[in-house]
Amino acid sequence: MLNLTSIKHLNVRAISPLYIIRVISIFIFTLLFSIQSYSQSKIKDYFPKFDASIKTKYEYAFETNMSRFSVRNSRMGLSGNITDPITYRVQVELSSEGNFEVLDLSANIRFFEGFSVTFGQTSVPVFNPYIITPSQMMFANRAFIGKYFASTRDIGILANYKIPNMPVPVSLEMGVFNGYVINRPLWTDRPSFATRVIVGDMNGLRATAKLYRYPKTAIEDYVIWGADFRYAQERYKIEAEVMNRHNKFDEVDRFSLYLQGGYSFPLNSNTLFKDITPVVRWDAIGEDLSNNKFDANRLTFGLSFGLTDKPFGSLIRLDYESYIVKRPITEFNKYDEMDSDKITLELLIIF
């Protein structure tokens, strides 16, 4: 029988928050395990799908003789169906150079075949996932286009329409966003707009053209346009892109491009390394191209060793970056190692 006297004298403060968290965690994992163990097909259809990636590396900068270890990215995500036409996506960054960030918080509604709308915090339809997503990049560091133009996510609404009955897949994307990037749901009278046309798909030929109106601040009022081309199969890919950012406030343009490719050679599956992949990239960026010269050029040579049977998956990679800088862009002034020749040893785990 319940002893009311003992409850009366119970010291509630003695129950630590950590204990409560543990109890709740055990309950949640027990519930999820029970649901997952249940064999009905309907539950399997709607059970969340988990994905994650860890990207940790060592870097050495030749110009300053400095080095560092870092966990560049540690991402975890959930996605799934609520009903057949409604899906969701949640993703967090546990450590982006030591910072916690919420990346994706969105739901997608498919209204009819080929047409869907995403509502929430999601990717802006300007940047390609293979340039900005750690688990899809061919190099330890992003191309200039993916790093020095604009934020890659925002809060808003994004419509996608895949034109039916086309001999080659054609998709149209159009979105409206707050313009304050991620995790900042602020009031605004200057929303940003983005649109993109995609021809082809990720396996085979793919080309896109995109436009992004991004009024960031009173003195950073950007119009960004770009185009890219890609050809990929299971074991090789070649990718090229150009992008221009025009500031309507001071009429300054920032232009960048890259060309990159790689081929994965299979090895004996009984060894630790399943494949070896050499990759190479040239990218350049500049803000005053009146003399037809970029402010900075970079050559990156990489060699990765695959840890799974899937090419371009989990791997150990070694990259060497060589910079030719005539005039540093503003972001290079963050610290001396930004535009230094460097070597990077990286471990990427995808699960």
pLDDT in tens, 77-119: 999 998 889 999 999 998 877 788 999 999 999 999 999 999 9
Q: In sequence order, which residues have a C-beta less than 8 Å from that of residue 150 and are 6 or more positions away?
A: 124, 126, 212, 214, 216, 222, 224, 245
Other beta carbons within 10 angstroms of residue 221's beta carbon come to: 16
Tokens of 17: 């928050």
On whether residue 204 sits in a domain, the answer given is yes
pLDDT for 150-188, tens place per residue?
999 999 999 999 999 899 999 999 999 999 988 889 999
pLDDT of res. 1: 45
On whether residue 68 sits in a domain, the answer given is yes
On whether residue 3 sits in a domain, the answer given is no
Q: 3-class SS at 230? A: strand
Mean pLDDT by 10 residues, the chain (351 residues): 44 52 59 53 71 95 96 91 90 84 94 95 95 95 95 96 94 96 90 97 95 92 97 96 94 95 91 95 89 89 95 96 93 92 97 90
Shared domain for 31 and 62, answered yes or no, is no
Shared domain for 38 and 56, answered yes or no, is no
Shared domain for 139 and 28, answered yes or no, is no
Shared domain for 293 and 230, answered yes or no, is yes
What's the number of domains the chain is made of? 2
Q: In sequence order, which residues have a C-beta less than 8 Å from that of residue 293 and are 6 or more positions away?
A: 286, 326
Shared domain for 89 and 232, answered yes or no, is yes
- Give the helix/strand (H/E) hosting 11: none
On whether residue 7 sits in a domain, the answer given is no
pLDDT of res. 93: 93
On whether residue 241 sits in a domain, the answer given is yes
Could you tell me the residue range of the domain that residue 89 belongs to? 48-350
On whether residue 73 sits in a domain, the answer given is yes
Shared domain for 18 and 121, answered yes or no, is no
Query: Left if phi > 0, otherwise alpha if psi is -120 to 50, otherwise beta: which for 204?
Result: left
Shared domain for 246 and 103, answered yes or no, is yes
The pTM assigned to this predicted structure is 0.83
The amino acid occupying position 62 is F
CA angle 144, 132, 290 (to 5 degrees): 20
Shared domain for 227 and 196, answered yes or no, is yes
Q: Domain holding 230: CATH number?
A: 2.40.160.10
Shared domain for 43 and 157, answered yes or no, is no
Shared domain for 151 and 20, answered yes or no, is no
Instruction: Encode burial over 166-202: b for 16+ CB neighbours within 10 A, e otherwise.
Output: eeeeebebbbebbbbbbeeeeeeeebbebbbbbebee
On whether residue 5 sits in a domain, the answer given is no
Shared domain for 41 and 55, answered yes or no, is no
On whether residue 210 sits in a domain, the answer given is yes
Shared domain for 185 and 317, answered yes or no, is yes
